[in-house]
Amino acid sequence: WKPVADYIDQQFEQYFRDESGLNRKNIQDNRVHCCIYFISPFGHGLRPLDVEFMRALHQRVNIVPVLAKADTLTPSEVERMKNKIREEIDHYGIRIYQFPECDSDEDEEFKLQDQALK
């Protein structure tokens, strides 16, 4: 995870230097805003490497954990695995991306979709 964390930090530092400079017209924004982290469907939750990687990055970028190859599992296995992963993420104090609340003026279908994603 060290090379990934270093890369993220370098991109933020470069952007900050460019923003602080005199010529700000042609700034390239190569910052990393999100990390989609794939979790193995085999095993019993997060591996120690998963925990350390997400701990190293959760202060730097939004982390979106994704259960890899979920289509190879039954719906009940997917639900069990997701619950186990959520418990472990909470236990280790890892902050993951949370969908924002939708506006109150949104239609009901959108609100239901938003709730399902959460």
Is the distance from CB of 8 to CB of 63 less than 8 angstroms? no
pLDDT of residue 80: 92
Over residues 88-118, the pLDDT tens digits come to: 999 999 988 877 777 777 778 877 887 777 6
Residue 81 contacts residue 73 (beta carbons within 8 Å): yes
With a CB cutoff of 8 Å and minimum separation 6, the contacts of 55 are 92, 93, 94
Predicted local distance difference test score (pLDDT) of residue 81: 92
Residue 36 has pLDDT above 90, yes or no: yes
pLDDT (tens digit, 9 = 90+) per residue, 24-34? 777 888 889 99
Q: How many CB atoms lie within 10 A of CB 13?
A: 11
Do residues 114 and 102 lie in contact, with contact meaning Cβ atoms separated by under 8 Å? yes
Q: What is the pLDDT of residues 55-81, one digit of tens each?
A: 999 989 999 999 999 888 899 999 999
What pLDDT shows up at residue 53? 92
Q: What is the DSSP letter of 106?
A: S
